[in-house]
């Protein structure tokens, strides 16, 4: 499906969904939008998007609907509510959930969509608000190959690395794998900075020694300078990372796979939230170490 | 001190020390060598190095002595033994320990050297056997600024990133910071692969999605393909990594800094050794997860 002229719905227009919807309009799509807070739709409506009062109303007008909401419970509501997408979509409607959400929920949506004569893909993204704005997201997709092929040109409007990972739920599982890696990279980087400072080293000089070798990582190079500048503004919200870690941990437990590093990270970010720091960026974990709260 | 014509000692000629000594000979140094297993000195002796029967004998002939041995106890013996470097070095001898060893031992060596009219730097390296062979090591130095300045041209023969990190012990502390980061990156990468496989994903395809973004790291890109190929040959020995993690943990405890990720990594690599896998590469930790030993 080419974006030009396609009737595309977009539900959820926050820091991620907003710019993604904007790219689809720029690519020539006829865009239909719904979001809980209508104010967030202002700029895309000005750019030509059509506003709907309910997901149901939107679903009836579209061939493809993207969703980018907050938590699994929001996904449930949008997909399974009486005013939701599955109950109201036309036959053949293709639903694409780009929210990072539960793999088992993605499979339930896939099944329910099929039973209703619709289709569904899970397609969570990584790359943050910057990736959304620059259309450089990585998009990890789960679902049927032919559905993926149909929507792939649209996904390539939104992201750079677009890969079908397997059947329904596989996109979410891949995103969980991504978050597990980040948990290790971020926590290790933070503990090294805390160690370096306790040892009386200059942590910036330490970064010069360790960043280019076998300790190198994106988290080290991009996040630790922010930490050392005292910049804890959210690139990615700690509370959302905690949500992801909990989904990953639930999945791992359901699969009977013990992952002690993931367990540790979930415990640490639970502390972050308990300390009232969930609205800051993931790098704020550093403050808990410095404040002796670990 | 320029390498050409300098009288340089090298103690320890294993996978790291061997190629490092070779570079110093190539740069024109007059090299004196000692190693526990004389056989390991064969190629550098053929290249022109002078063999000595004891560290004491070697120390008497040199202006600078490098050491690259295995464990802190080996360092203690070479430096503090009656046949060791400190008791037998000439006034002004500059001792450079490139072994990854205890920061507190580095400080003791520094003090004892000063008391004996000698000088000492701690200068552990990262970059592995490949970095040693290609002279691309990162060298993290602790000690006096003027001693560092004197030996810096020699260090630049051996490595690419050569940084004075602070007073005695700072080189070792920086290396510990490096190992803490690696512990997080490696463990996170391994847990993500284990998770991906349990979820029925193709882990190589997962790597395509996650390697270039905010989860990216050297450990992910360089080590996980080896893991998936079943290649557990040592780039870096698991038993040596365990040694490093224990040093880091001891230091952190002495500084009263709780580092739960480091504690977890020490526990995991203790299991690796207990399972008789210490002679394999660090990536062998993956097998313990797969075998349900975690």
Q: How close B62 comes to chain A (CA, Å)?
A: 29
Instruction: Collect all residues with Cβ–Cβ distance below 8 Å to B144 and sequence separation of at least 6.
Output: B119, B121, B167, B168
Inter-chain Cβ pairs, chain A and chain B, closer than 8 A:
253
pLDDT, one tens digit per residue, over A139-154 is 999 999 999 999 999 9
Cα(A261)–Cα(A94) distance, rounded to whole angstroms? 37
Contacts of B183 in chain A (CB under 8 A): 188
- Interface contact flag, B210 A177, Cβ < 8 Å: yes
**Chain A: closest CA distance from residue B265 (Å):** 9
Confidence of residue A83 (pLDDT cuts 50, 70, 90): very high
Q: What is the pLDDT of residues B50-99, one digit of tens each?
A: 999 999 999 999 999 999 999 999 999 999 999 999 999 999 999 999 99
Please judge whether B251 and A199 are an interchain contact, meaning their C-beta atoms are less than 8 angstroms apart. Answer: yes
pLDDT for residue B219: 97
Contact call for residues B121 and B145 (beta carbons, < 8 A)? no
Other CB atoms within 10 A of residue B274 CB: 11
Report the alpha-carbon angle B4-B9-B11, nearest 5: 140
Q: Which bin fits A165, alpha (ψ -120 to 50), beta or left (φ > 0)? A: alpha
Write out pLDDT tens, residues B124-172: 999 998 999 999 999 999 999 999 999 999 999 999 999 999 999 999 9
* Nearest residue to A262 (alpha-carbon basis) of B260, B218, B219, B246: B260
Give A24 to chain B, closest Cα distance, Å: 22
Catalytically annotated residues of B: 175
Contact at 8 Å (CB) between A220 and B181? yes
The whole-model pTM stands at 0.97
A215 bridge partner residues: none
Q: Which of B174, B177, B213 sits opposite A126 (nearest CB)?
A: B213
* ipTM here: 0.97
Percentage of residues in chain A having pLDDT higher than 90: 98
**Which sequence positions of A are flagged as catalytic?**
175
Q: Which residues of A touch B191 (CB under 8 A)?
A: 180, 184, 259, 261-262
Sign of the Cα pseudo-torsion (B217, B181, A227, A205, in order): negative
Q: Which of A199, A207, A208, A292 to substitute to test the interface with B, most B CBs within 10 Å?
A: A199
Of A179, A205, A210, the CB nearest to B178: A210
Averaged pLDDT of chain B: 97
Give per-residue pLDDT as tens, B200-254. Answer: 999 999 999 999 999 999 999 999 999 999 999 998 999 999 999 999 999 999 9
Q: What is the 3-state secondary structure (H, E, C) of A221-286?
A: HHHHHHHHCCCCCCCCEHHHHHHHHHHHHHHHHHCCCCCHHHHHHHHHHHHHHHCCCCCCEHHHHH
Q: How far is B292 from chain A (nearest CA, A)?
A: 8
The reply to whether residue B261 touches residue A192, judged by beta carbons under 8 angstroms, is no
- Domains annotated on chain A, with CATH: 7-166 (3.40.50.720), 173-290 (1.10.1040.10)
Quote the CA–CA distance of A227 and A187 in Å, as a whole number.
12
Q: Which of A194, A209, A255 sits opposite B257 (nearest CB)?
A: A194
Mark yes or no for CB contact A219/B220 under 8 Å: no
* Per-residue pLDDT reduced to its tens digit, A10-60: 999 999 999 999 999 999 999 999 999 999 999 999 999 999 999 999 999
Nearest chain B residue (CA) to A190: B181
Residues written for chain A:
294
Selected residue with higher pLDDT from A242 and B2: A242
Q: Which residue has the tokens 């063999």?
A: B51
Phi/psi at A126 (nearest 5 deg)? Answer: -130, 160
């Amino acid at each position: 499906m080419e974006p030009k002229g396609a009737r595309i719905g977009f539900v959820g227009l926050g820091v991620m969904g907003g710019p993604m919807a904007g790219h689809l309009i720029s690519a020539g799509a006829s865009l239909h939008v719904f979001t809980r807070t209508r104010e967030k739709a202002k700029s895309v409506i000005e750019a030509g998007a059509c506003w709907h009062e309910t997901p149901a109303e939107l679903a009836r007008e579209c061939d493809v609907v993207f969703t980018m909401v907050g938590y699994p419970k929001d996904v449930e509501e949008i997909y399974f509510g009486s005013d939701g997408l599955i109950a109201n979509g036309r036959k053949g409607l293709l639903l694409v959930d780009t929210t990072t959400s539960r793999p088992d929920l993605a499979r339930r949506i896939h099944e329910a969509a099929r039973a209703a004569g619709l289709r569904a893909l899970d397609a969570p993204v990584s790359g943050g608000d910057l990736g959304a704005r620059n259309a450089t997201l990585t998009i990890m997709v789960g679902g049927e190959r032919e559905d993926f092929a149909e929507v792939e040109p649209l996904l390539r409007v939104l992201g750079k690395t677009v890969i079908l990972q397997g059947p329904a739920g596989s996109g979410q599982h891949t995103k969980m794998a991504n978050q597990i890696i980040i948990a290790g990279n971020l926590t290790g980087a933070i503990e090294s900075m805390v160690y370096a400072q306790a040892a009386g080293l200059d942590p910036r000089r330490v970064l010069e020694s360790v960043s280019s070798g076998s300790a190198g990582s994106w988290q080290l190079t991009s996040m630790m300078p922010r930490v050392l500048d005292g910049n804890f503004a959210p690139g990615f919200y700690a509370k959302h990372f905690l949500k992801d870690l909990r989904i990953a941990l639930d999945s791992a437990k359901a699969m009977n796979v013990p992952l002690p590093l993931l367990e540790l990270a979930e415990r640490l970010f639970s502390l972050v939230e308990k300390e009232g720091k969930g609205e800051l960026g993931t790098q704020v974990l550093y403050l808990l170490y410095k404040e002796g709260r670990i």
